[in-house]
Chains A and B, each alone.
Chain A
Amino acid sequence: MSDRNLRIAAILVTLAGIGVAGYLTWAHFADQSVICVQGGGCEKVQESSYSEIAGIPVAVLGLASYLTVLALLVWDAPVARLSAATLAIVGVLFGAYLVVVQLFVIDAVCVWCMANDLVIGPALAVLTLLRLRS
């Protein structure tokens, strides 16, 4: 895949991340139930003590991270590429922690969080890392 296509793919994945994190952020501040699939536990996850860090909703951190990555992708200087990849890896690792928390601590699964932690975040990390080697 060419660098141009990798960059476009990374931007599209980042926009998906912004969509998910933005929706969860909105749901948090609007005190609204999130749309959840049968068998899910979106609200239990969203309401758990793990959904905030020092009073800041994890969804907000995610949204801020995706917006930062988007800005770095647009900037596209060498340091921006490296920073985007670094941030994406942080996201993947923290996402892995959140997956463990959902499965083994909260004992509930938020499909939106899982989509982010298992699909969007890792995809972004792979794409941004591939760009460093292309």
Chain B
Amino acid sequence: MATRSGTGQPTSRRSIAIAIAVAAVAAVGLVAVALLLRDDGGSSTSAPAVDVSGIPQEGSLLGDPDANVTLIEYADMQCPFCAEYAEQMLPTLVNDYVRPGKVNADFRVVAILGDDSEKAARYVIAAGMQNLMWEFQQELFRNQGQEHSGWVTDEVLRETAAAVPGLDVDKLFADADGAQVTAQANENIQRFQEDGAQGTPTILIQIGDGDPYMLQVGLEPTALAAALDDALAG
């Protein structure tokens, strides 16, 4: 083994060779374990997470506008965690809280990850002008491409829009370039900053007209449900 101390003679070549051999074997073993135990996740976002049809929708707000508790989400359409959040959390949120009218949900799209985010956000907001933002954002999350790859093309947006029943695609494209969308996008990013959000997704709860408070619920539906129950209990 090693034959040197702090200022003594160098480690023997044999020891170094053994160390390199051990390292190589360990690395090969690690790669083998990584490949053998890899979880490929199966089918991911093959279908919309949840059906929001029949639930009141106005702009970015889903659910009873008079509900006392609002769940606010800041999301970037390029953010994979946001897509995952939509897939994993929406069923609990919508089926157990929004559809029964206990809670409403405000989807505030922001563009913090670049040009694709900005373009996607404009179309999400434009879909909100037809009160179909939630269907459109779910569909666009399903079509989400690689970050910064230029995946938010007119073609993808048109296909996404076409998959949302009732959405006027030509109007969507016309609205997306409008001043109203620009104003809403600016308002969203301003509120994002005012609410102290650092990244996406950021989830907040607002009770009545009170100040929203941030949640750290990760991607665990039961944690979200517990937070909403607490809010509903006052």
- Whether the Cβ atoms of A44 and B80 lie closer than 8 Å is yes
**Is B11's CB within 8 Å of the partner chain A?**
yes
Residue B23 at the A interface, CB < 8 A?
Answer: yes
- Write out, one digit per residue, whether chain B residues 1-38 have a CB within 8 A of any chain A CB (1) or not (0): 11111111011000110011011101110110110011
Chain A contact patch, size range: 35 or more
Contacting B148 at CB < 8 Å: which of A39, A79, A134?
A39
Contact of A33 among B16, B34, B76 (CB under 8 A): B76
Is B43 positioned at the interface, with any CB of A under 8 Å from its CB?
no
What is the 8 Å Cβ interface bit string for chain A, positions 86-114, against chain B (1 contact, 0 not)? 11011001100100000000011000000
Q: Which residues of A contact B85 (CB under 8 A)?
A: 31
- Which of A47, A78, A90 is in CB contact (< 8 Å) with B2? A78
Q: Looking at the complex, which one of A33, A55, A79, A129 makes contact with B199 (CB distance below 8 Å)?
A: A33
**How far is A108 from B26 in the complex, measured between Cα atoms in Å?**
26
Task: Say yes or no: B23 contacts A90, CB within 8 Å.
Answer: yes
B198 is an interface residue with CB less than 8 A from chain A:
yes
- A85 located at the interface, meaning its Cβ lies under 8 Å from any Cβ of chain B in the complex: yes
Q: Which of B3, B24, B27, B218 contacts A78 (CB 8 A)?
A: B3
- On chain B, the number of residues with a Cβ less than 8 Å from chain A's Cβ atoms is 50
**Closest CB in chain B relative to A125 CB, distance in Å:** 9
Question: Any chain A CB within 8 A of the CB of B166?
Answer: no
Contacts of A46 in B (CB 8 A): 80
A45 to B24, CA, bound (A): 25
- In the bound assembly, the distance between CA atoms of A89 and B17 in angstroms comes to 12
Q: Are A41 and B11 in contact (CB under 8 A)?
A: no
- A94-B30 CB under 8 A given contacts A31-B218, A32-B198, A129-B16: yes
Interface residues of B in 82-113 (CB under 8 A from A): 84-85, 112-113
Docked-complex contact B201 and A31, CB < 8 angstroms? yes
CB <8 Å contact, B27 and A89: yes
B83 and chain A: residue at smallest CB distance: A47
B147 to A36, Cβ gap below 8 A? yes
Whether B27 lies near A132 (C-beta < 8 A) is: no
Enumerate chain B residues within 8 angstroms of A132, measured Cβ to Cβ: 10-11, 15-16, 19
Beta-carbon nearest neighbor of A87 in chain B = B23
Q: Which residue of A lies closest to B29 (CB)?
A: A90
A43 adjacent to B81 (CB under 8 Å): yes
A29 — which chain B residues lie within 8 A by C-beta? 218
Additional 20 contacts, C-beta under 8 A, given A33-B81, A94-B31: A32-B81, A33-B112, A33-B113, A33-B200, A36-B147, A36-B148, A38-B148, A47-B81, A47-B84, A49-B38, A52-B39, A78-B4, A78-B11, A79-B2, A82-B1, A82-B2, A86-B19, A93-B27, A108-B146, A132-B10
A interface, CB within 8 angstroms of B: 3, 29-33, 36, 38-44, 46-47, 49-50, 52-55, 76-79, 81-82, 85-87, 89-90, 93-94, 97, 107-108, 129, 132-134
Q: Can you list 11 A-B contacts with CB-CB less than 8 angstroms, sorted by A residue number?
A: A29-B218, A44-B146, A53-B37, A78-B2, A82-B1, A86-B19, A86-B22, A90-B23, A90-B26, A94-B30, A133-B11
